[in-house]
Amino acid sequence: MLRKKKITFVINYFYPELAATSQLMTELTGYLQKDFTITVIAAQPGYAGENHQSKKLFEEGYVESIKVVRIKLPEVNKNSKVSRLKYISSYFFLANIALLKEKGTDVIFTISQPPVLGGLIGTIGKLLKRSKHVYSIHDFNPEQAQAVAYTNNQSVFKIAKIIDKLNCSYADQVLVVGEDMAETLRGRFEDETVPNYTVISNWTDEDAIVPIEKSEPAIRGFLETHGLKDKFIVMYSGNLGLYYDLENLIQVADKFREQPDIVFLFIGEGAVKERIQRYVTEKNLENVKFLPYQPKEFLKYSLNSADVHLVVNQKGIKGVSVPSKIYGVMAAGKPVLGVLEQGSEVQRLIFESGAGVVIEPQNYEGVIHAIHYLHSLDPRELKAMGLKGRAYLEENLTRATSINKYRQVLQAVADNSPLEHSFQPKQYKEVVHKK
């Protein structure tokens, strides 16, 4: 009997973390464990305040047949650059040690978290362990940090870009989550050899998240508990992070203080949550509510409690990141108010599906008009708009489609065999690019 190839995933966030990346990678490895021997190297839970009491530097355990090596890291204050740096550097150092201790690894799978260093772990591991490396880029950095002026030190961005270009060049396969990100990758290597890459969309569990009427008891109870009954809910569900312009978008809520039936609901945690909460308190806005991340099993109800979902990115993020919340919103069959650049991946999805409207980032008057427009629609028309997104997802963006593409890429890399031309998903003109 042939030995199953071993893949070591170095992915920072993993079950039971609530981060979107954790949920994606937990599902991916869960489906791949029948095809490969899998080890996951990840930080101990703590993304959304999860408490983990272990004092061991490295703690081994299993999730089904998946070996999980958890790294103990310092607590991180996401509003402090020093705290973030301490956390990231500790993870980088310890993840490298954990990876080097793993024996018999055929393929190292890393993601673009932490920025640049996630890929560098794979580069170092490939060099020292003589393994293959698959580099999955969910966010391009330093481009993302540069877009929001995370630091004014341009030499930091220059050095980081050189390192991450090296990571891409040295990888056996680069994965990106949108065609606009593939354009960014090609742009990095203008007049140079572009690394082998594949576009694979993120996903949600479209069987777990389905359209549900607000009259459903769990949703009705949720709305009543939080004072949201009979409200028109504009929801943002996910990471309240640095790359979404939420600290400015929250000012839109002030324009609706005289319309008590319109409520803005933010569900999640992140670096800017305190800032937008402070603005709401200072302005005495009663039409804005905050809730923590909801349990995964309740997500189908919380997403369906909204009338419109905000899916946003900061200006300059086109081709750098794809907000994965779009897949859950489309699965729930809810209309989308996208604050996104033209030509970005999610703008394309909304345009092609007809599931909502899109406004350019920083066009706050446009966002106000869009909310008025969506609020004015007949409920049946609004519902039909959202269901167009569900139909599009079922046709083009199912979980099985994306996971099968991962399986084919990893098997091809592990076996040192070429990717077949037929691997191209139909919504992209060019998906597999070979040297």
Give pLDDT tens digits for 320-331. 999 999 999 999
Average pLDDT of every residue of the chain = 91
C-alpha to C-alpha distance for 122 and 386, rounded to whole angstroms:
40
DSSP 8-state symbol, 250: G
The pLDDT confidence band at residue 433, using thresholds 50, 70 and 90, is very low
C-alpha to C-alpha distance for 343 and 303, rounded to whole angstroms:
26
pTM: 0.89
Per-residue pLDDT at 48 exceeds 90 = no
Which homologous superfamily does the CATH classification assign to the domain defined by 6-203+398-423? Glycogen Phosphorylase B; (3.40.50.2000)
> Which pLDDT score is estimated for 432?
40
DSSP 8-state symbol, 212: -
* Beta pairing class for 356-359 and 132-137: unpaired
Q: How many other C-beta atoms are found inside a 10 Å radius of the C-beta of residue 297?
A: 8
Burial category of 205 from C-beta neighbours within 10 Å (exposed 0-12, middle 13-18, buried 19 and up): middle
Buried b (16+ CB within 10 A) or exposed e, 213-245: ebeeeebeebbeeeebeebbbbbbbbbbbbbbb
Residue 8: in which H helix or E strand, if any?
Answer: strand 6-12
Per-residue pLDDT at 207 exceeds 60 = yes
Domain positions in the chain are 6-203+398-423, 217-396
> Which pLDDT score is estimated for 151?
67
DSSP 8-state symbol, 264: E
Q: For the segment 162-173, what is each residue's pLDDT rounded down to a tens digit? A: 999 999 999 999
Least confident of 131-140, 238-247, 344-353, 378-387: 238-247
> Which pLDDT score is estimated for 18?
79
> Which pLDDT score is estimated for 53?
61
C-alpha to C-alpha distance for 370 and 375, rounded to whole angstroms:
8
C-alpha to C-alpha distance for 40 and 96, rounded to whole angstroms:
13
Same fold, 6-203+398-423 and 217-396: yes
The pLDDT confidence band at residue 56, using thresholds 50, 70 and 90, is confident
Architecture of domain 217-396: 3-Layer(aba) Sandwich (3.40)
